């Protein structure tokens, strides 16, 4: 969040969905694609963090980013 604020570059949320995969039983549910598997990537709208953002504004942007990622970039994962 701070890096986006300092550089002025947007945060671009994205998600990946693998067709054939091995899912590791770990805290992050890591996925390993199998050969010839299809990978669908979805990109969300860029989220800008103003350079003059206060901590309250950064928290608002963080909550917005979290909501977009948990929603699966608008696909309803």
| Mean pLDDT of the region 15-25 | 91
Q: Compute how many other C-beta atoms are within 10 angstroms of the C-beta atom of residue 36.
A: 7
| Mean pLDDT of the region 39-54 | 92
| Mean pLDDT of the region 12-19 | 90
Q: How many whole angstroms separate alpha carbon 44 and alpha carbon 53?
A: 22
The pLDDT score that the predictor gives to residue 69 is 87
- Predicted structure pTM score: 0.70
Tokens read off for 64 = 């917005």
Report the chain's mean pLDDT, rounded to a whole number.
Answer: 89
Q: Which residue has the higher pLDDT, 74 or 22?
A: 22
What lies within 8 Å, CB to CB, of 34 at 6+ separation is: 20, 21, 22
Each residue of 2-23: b (16+ CB within 10 Å) or e?
Answer: eebbeeeeebebebeeeeeeee
Tokens read off for 3 = 């890096």
């Amino acid at each position: 969040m701070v890096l986006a604020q300092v550089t002025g570059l947007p945060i671009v949320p994205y998600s990946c969905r693998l067709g054939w995969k091995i899912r590791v039983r770990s805290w992050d549910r890591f996925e390993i694609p199998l050969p010839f598997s299809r990978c669908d990537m979805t990109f969300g709208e860029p989220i800008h963090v103003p350079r003059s953002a206060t901590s309250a504004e950064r928290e608002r942007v963080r909550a917005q980013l979290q909501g977009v990622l948990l929603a699966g970039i608008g696909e309803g994962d």
